[in-house]
Amino acid sequence: MSDEMKKTNRQAEIKQIIEQHAVERQEDLVTLLGEVGITVTQATISRDIKELKLIKVPTADGGYRYSMPTKKSENEDAQLQKAIQTYLQVLKKSDRFLSLTMHPGHGPVVAMLINRLEFPEVFTAIGDDMTVLVVCQSATAADQFAATLEQMR
């Protein structure tokens, strides 16, 4: 079996395992794969997690478990545009940072949409009740993303 085939099979097994078990640590994944006859190192699991873009989500008992990434909704572009049109009050820029002042209660949703849409200019967005801090890749990227947001207005 080729290395690529082994990797494909291993990653398919990882997807099944995380759907069936609350896997909290990479070591747990190594153990569970071993139980189905797949021997791997923690370093290999770490690479697989990155390639599969696994995320950690909260569990009912306060811990975190690995999960497949959520699929981007087809209408998230439209949702962001509507939120910017309706709730954006002030847009300020400083170097590679953008500060978006929103109507109260809308900061977290706008930050989540910006992050999920994976704009190439954006490193990350963090939202509280009425503010979104957008950290861009560079000052030029911040200018570009500010222009994108202004077009949505």
pLDDT for 16: 94
Structure tokens at 41: 């190192």
Residue ranges of the chain with per-residue pLDDT less than 50: none
Q: Are residues 125 and 80 in the same domain?
A: yes
Domain holding 54, by residue range, is 3-67
pLDDT for 4: 74
**In contact, 54 and 29? CB cutoff 8 Å:** no
**In contact, 118 and 98? CB cutoff 8 Å:** no
Residue finishing a domain among 67, 97, 116: 67
Instruction: Give the pLDDT confidence of 85-121 residue by residue, as tens digits.
Output: 999 999 999 999 999 999 998 999 899 999 988 899 9
Tokens 């070591």 belong to residue: 27
The CATH number linked to 18 is 1.10.10.10
pLDDT for 142: 97
Residue type, 134: V
Q: Are residues 88 and 123 in the same domain?
A: yes
Domain count along the chain: 2
